[in-house]
Structure 1
Amino acid sequence: MKKWLVLIIILICCSVSITAYAHSGRTDSSGGHNCSAKSVAKGLCTGYHFHNGGGSSAPPKSSPSTPTSAPKEQKPVYNPQVHYDKGYDAGFSKGREIGYKKGEKDMESTDSNEDFTKGWTAGFKAGYAEGLSKKEVEEKQEKDKKDGASKGKEDGFTAYKDGKEKKAYTYKDGSSDVYKKAYQAAFIISWEEAEAEETCFEEGYNQGLKQDEVVISESCDQETLRTKFEEGHEKGVKERDEKEIYKLTKQGETLGYEVAELIIPKEATKESYKLAFEKGYDQGMVKREVEVKKEGYDSAFKHMDFVNEVYTDNEVLSAWYEEGYAENEIAAEIKNQAQSLGEESDEYVISEEYKVNNDSVVLYDSLFYKGQEIKEQREKEQRNTMLSVAAVAAPAAGGLYFWKRKRKKVV
């Protein structure tokens, strides 16, 4: 038994010295040979090499009479597939890089080895297709992501304004998962932002209706929400100012119409409020002035001379009334011309410019017919005078006649 055990151990030790990567092929006289194409492809060896210690020991001594020669160096066997594969890998890597960048499709290898070049061309084409495909997939995903986010943002905002729920998605059937995911995320964010913006706008608006100072609440103290709050506040202040300005303008107009003393009310706390009150006051004064002057103007058709029977207790109103009376040039012309026209005309005549209103016609008629009466009285007096002269002249003419006849007989 011990003998067998010793024998086994000896065999194992001897096997360790045997070469692990054995391959086929005869050796030359030096104990070496060139690696075959198959062995190169399998990675077992490359070029010329030795086996079983060949070439590792010193060359045998030659006899004095016979000279020895060194073994010839063997060139490695050329393997076209190895060069093709190397070219393919290099071309594939380059093609994938250029294809991803969407670069030139027709690049060529500059290597002088024909097999390498063939492999490079085939590899470049395949790599380019893979790189381009990868780029197109990424671009499609990026586009879907961008489009989904854009549409989701738009629809989310609209959905809130239309009173729809937060998840009322409306993307089309057949949309990619990338599109849907981006759409949903943007939709919810946009919906919530629209809600928050409206809330902050209303808060600011209500605050603006009460005060000028902007005091932003904590919930709205963010960039976009702060802007909405300020916009709402501005709108509230504007509406409050418009109402106050309208009210004060009317108050000022009433006071001005009464021609009372200008006193700015206490509620006119802003300069714009004060200006509005003063503007209203001036408007009221102007309105009253126009009305009073119109009254004076019309009174000129009713009275031959100015008579102030209305505004005796107010100097301003009285002055306006008299100015209106004096500005009625038509009434003045009627008073200067109507009676003369009546005295000169045989029948009724009136110019169109005198037909301002019923009072102007009444004034004209009263003066015209007065002139007619004067004319008639004058003509009557002229007739009576002529009759009196005729009555006196008739007897005198008769006596003279008989006197002349009597004297003629005597002669």
Structure 2
Amino acid sequence: MKSFLSLCALLLLLMIIQGNVYAHPGRTDSSGGHTCRTNCSQWGLEDGEYHYHDGSGSNESDSSDSTSSDESTSSESSNDALDKDCSDFSSYDEVVEYWNSKGYSKTYDPERLDGWGNKVDDGIPCEAPSDYDTTRINNSPAQLAEKEAEKDLDSGEEVGYKTGLSDGQKGLSSNSFSKGSDSYQEGYEKGYEVGYKEGTTQFETLKKNAFKSGYALGEKQDKLKVPQKYGTIKALTSSYEEGFNKAIKEKDEKKKEEYLASGIKDGKADVLNEPEKAKDIFLDAYQKGYKIGQEELKETYVKQGYAAAFTILNYEEPDFEEEKYKDWYKEGFKSNVKIKDIVNVAYQAGLDGKSSSVPEKYQHAKTIYQYNFDKGTKDRKKNNQAVGSVFGLGMIGWLGRRFYVARKMLK
């Protein structure tokens, strides 16, 4: 019983060892074996040792004749020409170049380079160095992810551009927010900015055109009517109305000037003729002008009264039809304060006995000057007579006193 158990254990051990020896990667030739070229000791083999994966032929190889050896060598050479192991390449770049040239992928790898040394097929041939850029490997996960990211980037940029262009053309606020992968959002934001800038430029042109159209309408008529193509977007409607209102304002300002001039003319002629059915701003302009004209008319009568004060000694009411003309005339007459200076100068000249010639500066008030000069002269003569009388009376008194004293002495 013990011998039987020992024999079973020995057979099981031999099966495990044999499985480990032959269960390494690499395709087999038509004979079911191939030559080990790398990490052979790991599999219990010698470097360059030819072996079978199914376990057959290993013990028989020692007793095979030269013909069998030649066939194996020939079969090995044929297999090497058709199949490659990772150990057949001098560098990993060479592995990648071969993999790419064959068009291999995770799902198409007839030489089993993907599974060599890997637990699972991952689309990466052999063992890639840790710092190797696997995007260079055709159909690798990194390359596929990179292509997908590029696709998302392009898609996001295209959609973002269209959306940005539309928002810009409508005068909307910039909003480059989007959902999706990071690459998609990156492309969307980039495309949106470009589109929004172009759309905004186009929108500014539309706004200018809307303003010009509104201005042209305002020049023709006073009633606003926004066309449909400018009425659907608020900003364009505002530009159209702005242009219209500007034209109306300029037109109104021109009319206001006309009504102002008309009012001034009527005011100077003292004929009130207010416009009927006119805008309040035009009526106000006319009334303002009329008031200005009345002020100018008044000034003419005030000046007449002022000038008359230089020529007449006392105020004389003029023969005007309108009472307000007489009032304005009298106001000007009384406002002439220079007459007082002339009166004083002329009177003093006469009082001082100066020449009776009217100075050049007072020629415009010759009558006033002459009258007051003569008045001064008369007062001067009166003063002289008064002084003479006083002196004569004094002399008489003195002589009388002397006569009285002399008479007393003679007695």
Q: TM-score range by the shorter chain?
A: 0.3 to 0.5
